[in-house]
């Protein structure tokens, strides 16, 4: 399969914890769909613990996965959202 575009999108979104509203990532998101996965190479700033836990409430919002041969965080349903 093909890898995600290296240059990536230019639009950045804030990814926040749904439980406590803490900022987790600043992410370069492509498209206008729902937040399903975050490629590690597209994360501009990370405030999360090991990319999967909220630093404030210790809520696990994602799992590490390999998608198209690239490391990514798979978001668990409704535990993190875009702003």
The number of domains in the chain is 1
43 inside domain: yes
Domain residues for the domain of 56 are 12-82
Quote the percentage of the chain above a pLDDT of 70: 93
CA-nearest of 18, 26, 13, 27 to 57 is 18
Residues 6+ apart with CB under 8 A from 34: none
pLDDT in tens, 11-23: 899 999 999 999 9
In angstroms, the CA 20 to CA 25 distance is 14
The reported pLDDT for the residue numbered 28 is 92
The reported pLDDT for the residue numbered 19 is 93
User: In which band, very low, low, confident or very high, does the pLDDT at 9 lie, cut at 50, 70 and 90?
Assistant: confident
18 inside domain: yes
């Amino acid at each position: 399969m093909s890898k995600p575009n290296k240059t990536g999108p230019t639009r950045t979104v804030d990814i926040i914890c749904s439980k406590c509203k803490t900022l987790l990532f600043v992410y370069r998101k492509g498209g206008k769909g729902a937040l399903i996965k975050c490629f590690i190479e597209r994360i501009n700033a990370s405030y999360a613990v090991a990319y999967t836990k909220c630093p404030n409430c210790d809520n696990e919002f994602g799992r590490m996965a390999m998608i198209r041969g690239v490391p990514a965080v798979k978001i668990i349903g409704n535990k993190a959202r875009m702003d």
